Amino acid sequence: MHSERKLVKKTILLLFAISLVVIAADSAFAQDETAPDLKPIGAGLAVGIAGIGSALGMGMAGSAAIGAITEKPEVFGKAFLFIVLIEAVAIYGLLVAILLVL
């Protein structure tokens, strides 16, 4: 459990640093008309960060939900709700990517 938290923290920091680099590069190229368009990179980062985040959350919450359902079957609805909310994060990342590309 402790190593999973370290992995999550390192992943979040890495993705945050990558996002800052892309934002800085986009603002540096904002005045130049010949600069490359960074919207596809931002769209890819949106989908990637949302996918990684929801996958990590799904792994942790899913295993806890299965354990809770095994002990008390009446908590199935609450566990299912948490799983659906985690999936919504990945969908939001996809929507942001679509809006960036359009």
Report the pLDDT averaged over residues 60-82.
90
Residues with Cβ < 8 Å from 66, sequence gap 6 or more? 79
Report the pLDDT averaged over residues 68-85.
90
Query: Please, what are the domains in the chain?
Result: 2-101 (1.20.20.10)
Distances (CA, A) of 86 to 52, 53, 64: 11, 9, 13
CA–CA separation, 10 and 4 (whole Å) = 10
Asked whether the predicted pLDDT for residue 13 surpasses 70, the reply is yes
Task: Report the range out of 4-18, 21-35, 84-98 with the highest average pLDDT.
Answer: 84-98
